[in-house]
Amino acid sequence: MRLSTSTLPAVLTTLISTTSAHGRITNITTSSGTVYPGWDPATPQSLLATPLAAWRASNLGNIFVKPSQFNTSDIICHYNATPGALHIPTTAGSTLKVQWNEWPVSHKGPVLTYLADCAGSCVDVDKEKLEWVKIDEVGWLNSSGVDVVPLGGTWGSDVLIANKASWMVKIPESLNEGNYVLRHEIIALHVAEQVNGAQAYPQCVNLKVASSGSRDVKKLEGGVVGENLYGIRDKGVLVDIHGNVTSYEIPGPMVWEFATRFEQPNE
């Protein structure tokens, strides 16, 4: 929908206040087609004993983690997260499809994916010790749609929406075999011009990665603990995206030099 600039403030306010819909990962599909459920925070008590590879968290309402909590363990895998009881078997170099329930178009921002080495089983890992290595990131792409509400151009979140709220994650081709936590996240920036306005939606799942047979195996190194990933005033966290955005600095560490990312459809 196209609107004249004079009607924009009212429309924006309406959009922001009516988009109470947030997101979560509903399932993860391996390249062989096996579907693993994500964590549903509305899981009834009677089903809580069902083991999942996905990490549990107190994210009822598909809520977000605020920048004032980026320096706490809640940024790791969402509020009060506890490790998954299983691992999804996969192979270095293969892809996983991560499916979100939905994503509101107003919630523009980057899509980020990390891995952390559990150095053993991930089932009883200490999340505060996990060191996250970024393997994929898509932030601001172009100014296509800057004059269309919601303003701000085209972002990773728009690519996710174009793919029916899904994202393909490629396990790095040369990754050493072992158990890893995959951390997939969207950071919504629709009110990020206010201090503490950005919204992080991190979700985690355990993987058991088999070797691809690559001779050039790499150990996942150089990671950052969760509490050090982002700061409340990072350039990509405290940022005004309502207008003609021409660049964006994606928060968090650099992408791993050995990552072999998958280009999304519609990217």
Ligand X SMILES: *[C@@H]1O[C@H](CO)[C@@H](O)[C@H](O)[C@H]1NC(C)=O
- Pick between residue 117 and residue 136 the one whose CB is nearest to ligand X: 136
- In the region spanning residues 123 to 142, those forming contacts with ligand X, defined by CB under 6 A, are 141-142
Residue 22 as a binder of Cu ion (CB under 5 A): the answer is yes
Of the candidate residues 82, 94, 95, 143, the single one contacting ligand X (CB under 6 A): 143
Q: Which of 13, 18, 194, 266 is in the footprint of ligand X by CB under 6 A?
A: 266
Residues 242-261 that bind ligand X (CB under 6 A): 244, 246
Q: Which positions from 152 through 181 interact with ligand X, judged by CB under 6 A?
A: 154, 159
Q: How many CA atoms lie within 13 A of 160 on its CB side?
A: 36
- 27 forms part of the interface with ligand X (CB under 6 A): yes
If DSSP codes are grouped into helix, strand and coil, which group holds residue 117? strand
Number of residues that bind ligand X (CB under 6 A): 19
267 lines the binding site for ligand X (CB under 6 A): yes
The string of DSSP codes covering the chain is -B--GGGHHHHHHHHHHH------EEEEEETT--EEE---TT--GGGTTS--SBPB-S-TTT--B-GGGTTSTHHHHSTT-B--SS-EEEETT-EEEEEES---TT----EEEEEEE-SS-STT--GGG-EEEEEEEE-EEE-TTTTBSSPS-EEHHHHHHHTTTEEEEEPPTTBPSEEEEEEEEEEE-TTTTSTT--EEEEEEEEEEEEP---SS-B---S-EEGGGS--TT-TTTS---SS--------SSPBPTT--PPPPTT-
Q: Does 208 bind Cu ion (CB under 5 A)?
A: no
- Minimal distance in Å, beta carbon 202 to ligand X? 17
Q: Which of 18, 58, 144, 194 binds ligand X (CB under 6 A)?
A: 144
Instruction: By CB under 5 A, tell whether 190 contacts Cu ion.
Output: no
Q: Of 25 and 220, which CB lies nearer to ligand X in the complex structure?
A: 25
Contact range with Cu ion by CB under 5 A, out of 1-9, 20-28, 118-126, 135-143: 20-28
Least distance to ligand X, CB of residue 104, Å: 17
Interacting residue ranges for ligand X, rule: CB under 6 A: 26-27, 35, 68, 71, 99, 141-144, 146-147, 154, 159, 232, 244, 246, 266-267
